[in-house]
Amino acid sequence: MCIHHSFQNSPDESSSVINNQTLMAISENLDSSEVAELCFLCCDIVSRKHLEEVVDAAGLFLRLSENGLLGNVTFLKQLLCIIHRKDLADLLQTDRRQPEEIDAGFPLSKYRLMLYKIYDDVTTDSLKRIKIQLRSKLSRRELDQCKVRTDTHTFPELYK
């Protein structure tokens, strides 16, 4: 896979820089479901229209770069940790700030993180129980669209 995008880092973030080789290595190791999970986590900070155009991690990184978020190594590192890819997060160099400073600048909403945690914790059996509870609120077609727990695009729609 070849990334043809040039990612720009924020000029005001001098303490940490993500180089293109590292982004390419991360991009090559993320599968489509993980990219979808990252897109879901970022949908409050990157427009849905732009995220709908994302087909791979390189496309997501381009969108994050356009929003000035790739200058923040900690942001990408935390995103990767949230989706359980600490191996990829470890490829990123981090700055020496205290954890309180890092958390204060983390742009994901607590609501989005809560939705993701719910998604992440749901088993196939619990999904069946959720769908039974939602029968009166959602059409059969909407419920049928969400067939497996790993359906990142449909499952969060149940919580709208």
Instruction: Kindly state the average pLDDT of the residues 24-42.
Output: 92
Same domain, yes or no, for 100 and 129? no
Tokens of 99: 């954890």
The more confident residue out of 7 and 119 is 119
Query: Would 113 be classed as within a structural domain?
Result: no
Residue 118 pLDDT grade (very low, low, confident, very high; cuts 50, 70, 90) = confident
142 and 76 in one domain?
no
Reported pTM: 0.70
Return the residue matching tokens 């990829």: 88
Q: How many domains does the chain have?
A: 2
The domain in which residue 46 lies consists of 1-108
Q: Which of 55, 49, 83, 51 is nearest to 69 (CA)?
A: 51
**10 and 56 assigned to the same domain:** yes
Average pLDDT of the segment spanning 89-100 = 64
Q: Across residues 114-138, what is the average pLDDT?
A: 87
**Residue 18: what pLDDT?**
78
Same domain membership, residue 95 and residue 19: yes
- 49 and 128 fall within a common domain: no
